[in-house]
Amino acid sequence: MIDDAVLDFSSGSLFVLNAILAVVMFSIAIDLKPRDFQALSRAPKPLIVGLFSQFVVLPVLTFLLVLATQPQASIALGLILVAACPGGNISNFITHRAGGNAALSVSMTAFATVAAILLTPLNIALWGSLYAPSAEILRSTKLDPVSIAITVGLMLVLPLMLGVMLNAKRPDLTARLRRPLQWLSMGIFLAFIAVALAANWGLFLAFAGGIAGLVIAHSALGLAGGYTTATLAGLSPFDRRAVTIETGIQNSGLGLVLIFGFFGGLGGMAIVAAFWGVWHAISGLALAAMMSRKEAAR
């Protein structure tokens, strides 16, 4: 029974994952300067649309998917939790490959990361409680929004602030660090996920088949929801690509941290987040390859 399965993941592994995600966030932040945020304050519409798509549209679509498919409790809560996380760390790279507005993508990641302090625990509690089976898990779990906010703050927001400050004070240093650090941090993150999967391979094989279809459908809903929201808002194709990818690429690494930190590594949730981590990279790169065939109008 997947709702009773627990993945093998030590407290030391959780600390390492936290550290890796902090480095990944730092590597993104050194692409940013304070003036990037000032530019968005003068023309905030694409950013507002993107954040609305991430934190409102995607959770609503996820809840509708859960209602339509009626998955087991831990799987449903895993989908809801991933949808409540901010955009994934590889979204900026994929947006650049797709020929979209990479500056908007990086800024969306930054603002969504800060907003996640409040909105991630809120969305988990709200949508998880509206589906009866997952509501049972939430009732039996001591889900402390303040603790989640502190986790997000230390792991994502603090590295973000440090990266922006370093880029403002030492642009010569960040110019040398930027590309090697981004590739190195993403390589270490993917290697960590691979090692964690190998340690739980039997459990993953036993249940991943039933989860794969849901994760693929969920990812497609995220991309479609982002595209539709950006189109209805009248964004340019250049900005639309960034919003589409940012909505469909979620920070599954943060999802895993929250699952092991607050839900005891519950099997269905962890397998959903792990499969998301693999699939969103595959689907995102495939979409970027298709989009890049035609230059986006600005």
Chain centroid to Cα 217, Å, comes to 16
- What is the pLDDT confidence band of residue 297, given thresholds at 50, 70 and 90? confident
Tell whether 205 is covered by a domain: yes
Q: How far apart are CA 158 and CA 72, in angstroms?
A: 36
Average pLDDT, the chain: 84
**Amino acid (one-letter) located at 64:** L
The number of CA neighbours under 13 Å toward the Cβ of 44 is 8
Strand partners, 146: none
3-class DSSP assignment, residue 142: coil
Q: How far is CA 131 from CA 2, 64, 72, 225, in A?
A: 17, 10, 10, 21
Q: What is the model's pLDDT at position 69?
A: 95
Determine the length of the chain.
298
Residue pair 237/297 in contact by the 8 Å Cβ criterion: yes
Mean per-residue pLDDT, 145-172: 84
Q: Residue 153's closest CA among 120, 127, 183? A: 120
Which CATH number do you get for residue 46? 1.20.1530.20
Please say if the pLDDT value at position 239 is more than 90: yes
Taking the C-alpha atoms of 148, 67, 245 and 268 in order, what is their torsion angle to the nearest 10 degrees? 50
Convert the pLDDT of each residue in 78-128 to its tens digit. Answer: 999 999 998 877 787 788 888 888 778 888 888 888 888 889 999 999 999
Q: Could you give the maximum distance between any two Cα atoms of the chain, in Å? A: 54
Percent of the chain with pLDDT over 90: 31
Note the pTM of the prediction, 2 decimals. Answer: 0.86
- What is the pLDDT confidence band of residue 9, given thresholds at 50, 70 and 90? low
Please say if the pLDDT value at position 184 is more than 70: yes
Tracing tokens 């449903």 back to the chain, one arrives at 76
Q: How far apart are CA 166 and CA 236, in angstroms?
A: 32
Mean per-residue pLDDT, 246-253: 89
Alpha helices in the chain (DSSP H): 11-29, 34-42, 45-52, 58-69, 73-84, 91-98, 102-130, 132-140, 145-152, 158-169, 171-199, 201-232, 237-248, 252-262, 267-291
Burial of 258 (0-12, 13-18, 19+ CB in 10 A): buried
**Residue 208 neighbours by CB under 8 Å, 6+ apart:** 271, 275
Number of domains composing the chain: 1
Q: Residue 83's closest CA among 116, 45, 129? A: 116
Q: How far apart are CA 86 and CA 246, in angstroms?
A: 9
Tell whether 93 is covered by a domain: yes
Tell whether 76 is covered by a domain: yes
Tell whether 278 is covered by a domain: yes
Tell whether 44 is covered by a domain: yes
Range with lowest mean pLDDT among 14-28, 193-207, 254-268: 193-207
Q: Bigger pLDDT: 192 or 172? A: 172
Q: How far apart are CA 11 and CA 8, in angstroms?
A: 10
Percent of the chain with pLDDT over 70: 89
Domain range for residue 9? 2-291
- What is the pLDDT confidence band of residue 260, given thresholds at 50, 70 and 90? confident
Tell whether 297 is covered by a domain: no
Q: How far apart are CA 137 and CA 77, in angstroms?
A: 8
Mean per-residue pLDDT, 54-60: 97
At residue 60's C-alpha, the angle toward residues 148 and 120, to 5°, is: 10
Tell whether 296 is covered by a domain: no
Range with lowest mean pLDDT among 76-80, 179-183, 196-200, 276-280: 196-200
Tell whether 298 is covered by a domain: no
Q: What is the model's pLDDT at position 127?
A: 96
Q: How many CB atoms lie within 10 A of CB 222?
A: 28
Q: What is the model's pLDDT at position 49?
A: 96
